[in-house]
Structure 1
Amino acid sequence: MNVIAFAVQEFRSGGVSEVVPLIDGTPLTELVDAYEMSRSMRSAGNVYGGLIPAYFRYGPMDEHFLGEGFRSSAGTYLLGCECGEVGCRPLLGRISLKSAEVFWTDFVQPHRPERDYSGFGPFAFSRRQYRSALDSLVNDLISE
């Protein structure tokens, strides 16, 4: 099983926070950058950023990361573009809830549909640990 956490950090332009999923301690931004660079995708490397709740109406972030918030037909927004805009260069994936597990699968970059992410993930999390990480995320966002 993978371990999930969510980092709430100041977006580089300041004044707003971004949410970056961490998988096994590594930011999802780094994991997808490494995947894209290993497959010679252009452009790749430092092109993704976290989700910025102040810039887009995702709904409550805990619901969003359960796949219950705003999503497109391609999946749930997991990352936005490094510029802060989710509509520019997002990474989407399917979030599936099982009785004891949560899965992230079927990753896509909708503005580059020719890209193959079939070798990226899947990521499987204990539902209990995932819920704990979401509770921490909500507390971090409230305490800002």
Structure 2
Amino acid sequence: MTSQEIRLDCRQHAARDVLVVVPYIDGVPLTTMIDHFETGAGMEPAGDAYGGLIPAFFRYGPMEEHFHGRSTNSLGPKTPVLGCECGEVGCWPLMVDITVTPGHVTWHSFEQPYRRERDYSGFGPFRFERRQYDESVRVLAEAVSAEVA
């Protein structure tokens, strides 16, 4: 299995004075990837339903913990990687299992917890080289820490 490249893009939200985090996989926003998958699978609602994570709106804990699958567990055993387009992660999250090994990090078993009947088995898994993944998380953690300080 080949590895993808991840970038955890962190920038000011267009309409709010907060940071928003959107994962990019091989240069494509995860929001776009999931929109195409759900729309192509005929899921309703679908398209423009997801947005990035907004650390100021939810206590994710340290980004290093969150993106290594060791989040607060307040939304269940899986980790949210996207929230609702409204900015609220609890409204419409995209959840994933994150498996960390010495050489790789894998995102697998995606789910939309409010539509358990949806089949995401054709979405992912995404496998990242551990050093590149950890560097992306480190850059994100610094940006989020600077915003909070």
TM-score, normalised via structure 2 length: 0.92
Matched, 1:127 2:130: yes
Distance 2:104 2:118 in 1: 28
Measure, in 2, the Cα distance between the counterparts of 1:52 and 1:73: 18
Residue 20 of structure 2: aligned partner: 18
Partner SS state of residue 54, structure 1: helix
- Aligned partner of residue 37 in structure 1, secondary structure: helix
SS of the equivalent of 1:84 reads: coil
- Deviations, residues 3-45 of structure 1 (Å, cap 9, x unaligned): 0111112223311111111111111111100100111111111
- Distance in 2 of aligned mates of 1:95 and 1:64: 10
Aligned equivalent of 2:119, options 111, 116, 120: 116
Please give the TM-score of this superposition, normalised by the length of structure 1: 0.95
Helix, strand or coil for the counterpart of 2:16?
A: coil
Identity of aligned pairs, percent?
A: 49
**How many angstroms apart in 1 are the aligned matches of 2:145 and 2:59?**
16
Q: 1:74 offset after TM fit, Å? A: 4.4
C-alpha offsets along residues 94-143 of structure 1, whole Å, 9 cap, x if unaligned? Answer: 00011201000000000011110000000000011101111111222234
Provide the secondary structure at the position in 2 that maps to 1:21: strand
CA contact 2:55–2:144 (8 Å) conserved in 1? no
- CA 81–13 in structure 1, closer or farther in 2 if over 3 Å, else same: same
